[in-house]
Chain A
Amino acid sequence: MSEISRLADKITTALKKRVYGKTFYCPVCHLELAYADADADGLVVCPLCGVVIELADVWGHPLPVVHDVEINRVQPKARMHPVLTHAPVGLLPFALLGALFLAVVSLLAHLLPSGENALLHSNEFQALLQAMPAISQITLLLLGLSVGFSLFTGISGYVDWLRRYGGRPYKVIQLKIYLTIAFFVVGLAALLLHATGMVFGADGLVAASLNGTLMTLVYLGLLSVQMGVIAVLGHVGGYLVFGR
């Protein structure tokens, strides 16, 4: 277990180094910030606690010197971003579950033996097959809502960034913007595949062909990428709001 956590730590550290570069911690709220967050005068305003830090590097050791604190920071009038954030985060897992369910039922429908008393011909399974188009439509709706809400979440986050954080180019916010765009674009691609019937047919099942299988794998892959992206987004956003 310690080996796994060590490996995870190594990967996280490498990724962080790639995205943030060298980092330091705000000495007041302990938020991890990037050296690159400092402006031309070496000043950084901590996005979490609002202290104004002059960053010095002493022999590779970060030395954040606190000069001031922004006590009258702009507060969001309506907390749209934190509220909206929960929509794409909450809906996507159900869309993924729906997609997995559709894929598994398709697999069973194609692989189960078709004898007189087989499960395939049972009343329950037949009822399930009849419900498949509806399940496919619900999955598509959940995915559509998740991707659609992500657009509003992104816009509200952008407005918050301009108002509350003064549009300062924090690495952590840049990362959030890039990830939001990635989530939206990947989500659109998945929506397109689903809505055009390239993955699930009118019967709600995957076509029993190589193309059908490949499309399903691509579709599930896109949803999985979205899950990963939104997990990182949620973690980074939570870190930005609550700190360490």
Chain B
Amino acid sequence: MIDFSLSTEQQALVEKARDFTKTFVSPVAAKHDRSGEFPHEVAKEFFKAGLMNPHIPKEFGGHGRTVLDHLLVMEEISVGCTGIGTAIDANSLSQTPVIVAGNDAQKKEFLGPMTEECMFSAYAVTEPEAGSDVARVKTTATKHGDDYVINGVKWWITGGSVASWYFVLAKVDTKPTGFLVPADTSGIIRGAKEHNLGQHCSNTVRVTFEDVKVPSKYRVGEEGDGFRIAMDTFAHTRPGIAIGATGLARAALNLSLEYAKRRRTFDKKLISNQGISFKLAEMITKIDAARLLAHKSAWLVDNGKDNNREAAEAKWYASDVAMEAAVQAAQILGGYGFTNEMPVEKLIRDAKIYQIYEGATEIQKMVIVAKLMRLREV
């Protein structure tokens, strides 16, 4: 049975997130884009509204929401601003390894406090020489008695300078292993904020670990489980990236549509030109397709099914749709799509990262092909 409708609770969640976006996100999007300031105030409101940290299980004080529920919220937030969306939702990425592979003591210690106050955590996996090729990480964790000592450099860590703790992927001998590291541990050095092309208010920094001592109880899973945990995490979080991109594409469509219905050229409305209206038709169709892929990949993981291929499809396709929609929106607005006084040029800058982070488009295609090669037919 296929049912594309939302439950009453889900519909209420969408409306709540939509109101939140219009009240707290969109009005400050341009300001944060210009200043690059981390959106602490928005995050506090997000937390107060009960929309932050949706995945934390109820037994640890969280909402215990499904991945699909999370997508419904994040699509609305992303229509407002994907920079703010990334900043206030980066917790999801770092919390997921704890949720999927952590023990109860770790969940209580690291996730519990995040349900009581607005706090941040960060997923410290990427390194200067290891982005898409996660298994190549050079950070080491050396066993000393009952502790591990971590040394290495993590790069482009979202939320890195506001985090209270990190999920760190390091190698014990040659085995990739995950650790939970409180941010106030001696030896952690947070770098300056990176000045990126887009999503300016998302806090992206370098985090250096110099002889950082971590007790064994903070190891997630067994030694050597790190790569699997990182990949399992992406199965939960890539649908979220796909929906963020979908939200951005929706923003591009909303702006283009309103503009094309109002602006007059050659004595008629812009939308009356087929060259413009067809762009809008293509945008909505691709947005619908991207959303369906994202929802399906979320539904699969919520129901305990393998979603690797579908999550990769969703992430790849939606990020391309976001980029294309943003560029087309600028084309529809003409010169006004190129000025930073209008909200469209920001969409182009913000969209690009979707084709890169949490596995570049090329990696998504590799995941899809890897799955495809195991099939006789489709």
Binding site for B on A (CB under 8 A): 22, 25-27, 30, 54, 56, 58-67
Pick out which of these stretches binds chain A: B46-54, B309-317, B338-346: B338-346
B27 close to chain A: CB less than 8 A: yes
Residue of A22, A56, A58 with highest tally of chain B CB at under 10 A: A58
Would you list 14 pairs from A and B whose C-beta atoms are within 8 A, ordered by A residue? Answer: A26-B341, A27-B339, A27-B341, A54-B262, A56-B262, A59-B79, A59-B80, A60-B21, A60-B22, A60-B25, A61-B80, A61-B343, A62-B343, A65-B258
Q: How far is the CB of A30 from chain B (nearest CB, A)?
A: 6
Q: How far is the CB of B340 from chain A (nearest CB, A)?
A: 10
| A65-B262, A65-B263 known; A58+B255 contact, CB < 8 A | yes
Give Cα distance in the complex from A25 to B34, angstroms: 14
Residue of B80, B255, B262, B263 with highest tally of chain A CB at under 10 A: B262
Given contacts A27-B336, A27-B339, A60-B23, 10 further A-B contacts (CB under 8 A): A22-B27, A56-B259, A58-B258, A59-B79, A60-B22, A60-B80, A61-B255, A66-B263, A66-B336, A67-B262
Q: Does A27 contact B22, Cβ atoms closer than 8 Å? A: no
Give Cα distance in the complex from A59 to B248, angstroms: 12
Contacts of B26 in A (CB 8 A): 59-61
Q: How far is the CB of A69 from chain B (nearest CB, A)?
A: 13
> How extensive is the interface on chain B, given as a class?
20 to 34
| A56-B262, A58-B258, A65-B263 known; A25+B341 contact, CB < 8 A | yes
Closest to A26 in B: B341
Contacts of B23 in A (CB 8 A): 60
Give residues of chain B (15-51) contacting chain A, Cβ–Cβ below 8 Å.
21-23, 25-27, 29
Give Cα distance in the complex from A25 to B340, angstroms: 10
Closest to A244 in B: B341
Q: How far is the CB of B36 from chain A (nearest CB, A)?
A: 13
Contacts of A22 in B (CB 8 A): 27
Contacts of A56 in B (CB 8 A): 258-259, 262
Q: Does B342 contact A63, Cβ atoms closer than 8 Å? A: yes
B251 close to chain A: CB less than 8 A: yes
| A27-B342, A30-B341, A67-B264 known; A61+B251 contact, CB < 8 A | yes
Give residues of chain B (249-300) contacting chain A, Cβ–Cβ below 8 Å.
251, 254-255, 258-259, 262-264
Residue of A25, A56, A60 with highest tally of chain B CB at under 10 A: A60
Give Cα distance in the complex from A26 to B336, angstroms: 11
Closest to B26 in A: A60
Give Cα distance in the complex from A171 to B254, angstroms: 28
Give residues of chain B (197-250) contacting chain A, Cβ–Cβ below 8 Å.
none
Contacts of A27 in B (CB 8 A): 336, 339, 341-342
Contacts of B339 in A (CB 8 A): 27
Q: How far is the CB of B81 from chain A (nearest CB, A)?
A: 9
Q: How far is the CB of A4 from chain B (nearest CB, A)?
A: 15
Give Cα distance in the complex from A66 to B79, angstroms: 23
Contact of A60 among B27, B262, B264, B336 (CB under 8 A): B27
Q: How far is the CB of B57 from chain A (nearest CB, A)?
A: 32
B328-365 CB contact bits vs A (8 Å, 1 = yes)?
00000000100101110000000000000000000000
Give Cα distance in the complex from A25 to B251, angstroms: 19
Residue of A25, A61, A66 with highest tally of chain B CB at under 10 A: A61
Contacts of A66 in B (CB 8 A): 263, 336
Closest to B18 in A: A59
Contacts of A58 in B (CB 8 A): 251, 254-255, 258, 343
Give Cα distance in the complex from A65 to B341, angstroms: 12
Contacts of A61 in B (CB 8 A): 26, 29, 80, 251, 255, 343
Closest 8 CB pairs of A and B: A60-B26, A60-B22, A65-B262, A61-B343, A27-B341, A56-B258, A58-B254, A25-B341
Q: How far is the CB of A66 from chain B (nearest CB, A)?
A: 7
Q: How far is the CB of A239 from chain B (nearest CB, A)?
A: 16
Give Cα distance in the complex from A60 to B26, angstroms: 5
Contacts of A25 in B (CB 8 A): 341
Residue of A56, A62, A65 with highest tally of chain B CB at under 10 A: A65
Give Cα distance in the complex from A186 to B343, angstroms: 43
Give Cα distance in the complex from A67 to B265, angstroms: 9
Contacts of B27 in A (CB 8 A): 22, 60
| A27-B336, A27-B341, A27-B342 known; A59+B22 contact, CB < 8 A | yes
Q: How far is the CB of B189 from chain A (nearest CB, A)?
A: 21
Give Cα distance in the complex from A59 to B253, angstroms: 12
Give Cα distance in the complex from A63 to B252, angstroms: 12
Contacts of B25 in A (CB 8 A): 60
Q: Does B255 contact A63, Cβ atoms closer than 8 Å? A: yes
Give Cα distance in the complex from A25 to B258, angstroms: 17
Contacts of B80 in A (CB 8 A): 59-61
Residue of B263, B341, B343 with highest tally of chain A CB at under 10 A: B341
Q: How far is the CB of A164 from chain B (nearest CB, A)?
A: 24
Q: Does B263 contact A59, Cβ atoms closer than 8 Å? A: no
Give Cα distance in the complex from A58 to B27, angstroms: 11
Q: How far is the CB of A61 from chain B (nearest CB, A)?
A: 5
Contacts of B258 in A (CB 8 A): 56, 58, 63, 65
B155-196 CB contact bits vs A (8 Å, 1 = yes)?
000000000000000000000000000000000000000000
Give Cα distance in the complex from A220 to B339, angstroms: 47
